[in-house]
Amino acid sequence: MELEAVSLVMASQLLVSLLVSHWVLLSILKLFKRSAPPLAMISSQNLLKSFWVSRPTFLSERELEICYSYIVLAAPTINLHRTPIGGRNFECYSEDPYLTGSLASAYIKGVQSEGVFATAKHFAVNDTEFERFTISSDLDERTLRELYLAPFQQAVREANPGCIMTSYNQINGVMASENSHTIKEILRGEWEYDGLVMSDWFGAHSVAGTANAGLDLEMPGPTRIRGEKLVAAVKAGEVTEETINERARKVLELAVKAGKFEDPEEKPEEGIDKEEHRQIIREAGAESIVLLKNENNVLPLDASKLKKIAIIGPNAQQAIVMGGGSASVRTHYTISPFEGIKNAVSTEVELAHALGCYTHKWCTVLDGKMKTKDGENGVAFEYFVGSGFSEFHSRFVQRSSRIWLFDGLPEGIDGKHFSARLTTLYTPETTGNHIIGLASSGLSKIFINGEEVIDNWTSQDKPGIFFDSGSAERTATFQMQAGEAVEIVIEFERSTHPRDLPAIRFGIVEEMNPNIIEDAVELAKTADAVIIVAGLNGEWETEGEDRATMQLAGKQDELISAVAKANKNLVLVNQSGTPINMPWVDDVPSILQAWYLGQEAGNAIADVLFGKVNPSGKLPTTFPIRIEDTPAFINYPGDNGHVHYGEGLYIGYKYYDVRKAPVLFPFGHGLSYSTFEYKNVRVNQPTLEADGTITVSVDVTNTSQVDGKEVVQVYVHDKVSSLHRPLKELRSFKKVNVPAGQTVTVDLVLDKYALGFYDDQQNTWVAEQGAFEALVGSSVTDIRGKVEFELTNTAKWVK
């Protein structure tokens, strides 16, 4: 029996731990296509034992390949905006758990309707990038349940994601990947989740602990903590055969659900650029833009009345389309705000640009500014087998100068041992000293016109910029002449450190203008209208580190204030994934929050600026006046490896609401070119039974001459609760189109989940019998009406 258990363990750990590394699973699938009975007729134990016994040696790695990413998408990220400077807030949805859970559920349903499984992450309480691999998020049970687990619970209940990914951090002193309370007791037990649970990349740290807690898949492969170590744990009695069986079964079930037994062959990766996709991206981008302020109806701009538009700012001619880190994707193309505005106006309108200030954290990447010797856009990339650049393997062209080298390696290249040479031509626009920068996760050198200018090979500076790995950026100064191309060559060799994900980043900052703000101000004085495009980018908002402050990068605040004095017909477009300080807010008449809108960003922004699209976005997070005003400020970032969630239930608007504290822009806020009147808030019945529903209705009238969309929000207040609760909590919302001059009745449904709280003494969710209020409004502070109703009997639940 022990030998059988060990065989099962070895097969299981190979299956469970190496799936992402293109091993094992395909051979199982091929074997069963040839000779095995249907999966439903045998147990996972027998399947794995028969595989192990009948296939004692492996096929070639290429033959065994199956690409994990064709089965599963590692998204969405559904952690909360506990603090506005969280490094990954831009890829999370909101400060509110219900809004987060609702958006996550819709996302998961959409992805899984196309035959790909979504992964809800990061489970759980992963709301900071500070010491992210080790920090312990310490909080009470009620806060854990009502805030940080609630979006996951809602997603499991409403959408059933195929996978859930654990987080790096500890939860109350126990690593999330081996936390039996959150995985085994809550997720698997109370919620009855039957999908696959995986670790974040290199986020599993124990052998028996992860297996016993319910972690099915150690990511990425090949295994580090399982393998022979797991065999030893079974022999030592630390992990049972039943546990191994269950872990393997979850991986096999995923393969069955994905149809990989019927069609195990790897499909070629595709990037299909379709016009309908472009339109969807553009429409979604425009509808997500939030009009924060619009004094004197500066917006929409009427291009027919404008002779000259000054487009100023560091993000104006750059296409800032996403934040940094693993959430980044490769786009087919990008449209900058300047290009979008150019597309939107006639050629008779003069467009003039000024950079205004510098905001680079590192030297600016050269995307769109590189040519190969053959005239292709980008950098020529040559792979070599092993080290030393002696055995040439293959060549391809890469468009970006920020390159990850751990995914999509060509066949025949060992991901642990290879070298590469990058060659491109760069033509500067100005004459003078140019700063060139190089960082790498791996060994690297950079040459300009044959001269070595940076040695990042012999030694490296820390901390690294690639998720804490690799090197910091090193820089050198090189004299360049405007219009004269220089040859840039980079030599690279893979690092031997197992956690280093091979990567290269290089860029150039051209000769800097000491009068750059003054030049922008002078331009603004000559224009009929000024559009400042400011904000952050993927260097400032990224996985691996939090922002240091809420302040805009560089001297953007100084630039905005100076331009606001020069021209009052001013629009500020802010591109960031999180709130920013706005010391100039009273001086700028019109402000758009444009987020990171993807490849059609510039066109989407222009659609709103010139009124082709009426803005209808609402803020999913509070914009505070200062970082010092935020609920987590006193407890952030933590001490001695622990961060105390001392604010408890009161994050975001719930905190400002109960303190009656002023904010810059409240949760749910967003203006329109239309105006809306709310009337006749009502319910369809005065009482609600525990397992029933109640409908809150309101009549919304568009009192303007412009068709528009409005997001109607319903907040619930428990009038008499046995435990303290926030004054109001978002519990329903609906976006509706209201034609000019017309009235639309909006119906929003509430149930027990909308009324409940978590009772940590009873260890259950409770909606208590008694009186409730439904508050209907356009934001959390703009409540237009309310109505009372009564829950007739107490409801309790755990799922």
Mention every residue, 6+ apart, whose C-beta is less than 8 A from residue 194.
253
- Dihedral pair phi/psi, residue 604, rounded to 5°: -65, -40
Half-sphere exposure of 35 (CA within 13 A, CB side): 8
> Which amino acid, 38?
P
Catalytic residue ranges: 200
Cα–Cα distance for residue pair 584/387, rounded to 1 Å = 54
Cα–Cα distance for residue pair 530/524, rounded to 1 Å = 6
- Which residues face 371 on adjacent strands? 377, 425
Distance of CA 662 to the CA centre of its chain: 28
Report the first-to-last Cα separation within the chain, whole angstroms: 38
- 16 in Cβ contact with 216 (< 8 Å): yes
Cis amide leading into 151 (omega within 30): no
Q: Tokens 């091979």 belong to which residue?
A: 502
- Residue 637 CB: number of other CB atoms within 10 A? 14
- Which residues face 423 on adjacent strands? 380, 489
**Run of H or E including 8:** helix 2-18
Cα–Cα distance for residue pair 571/532, rounded to 1 Å = 6
Q: What separation in angstroms does the CA of 666 have from each of 70, 619, 621, 770? A: 40, 7, 8, 29
Cα–Cα distance for residue pair 81/89, rounded to 1 Å = 6
Cα–Cα distance for residue pair 598/289, rounded to 1 Å = 12
Cα–Cα distance for residue pair 164/194, rounded to 1 Å = 10
Half-sphere exposure of 68 (CA within 13 A, CB side): 25
Q: Tell me which residue of 773, 794, 751 sits closest to 98, measured CA to CA.
A: 751
- Dihedral pair phi/psi, residue 145, rounded to 5°: -75, -50
> Which amino acid, 526?
T
- Residue 466 CB: number of other CB atoms within 10 A? 23
Q: What separation in angstroms does the CA of 285 have from each of 339, 615, 619? A: 16, 10, 14
Sheet containing 757-759: which strands, arranged edge to edge? 757-759, 764-767, 795-797
DSSP 80: B
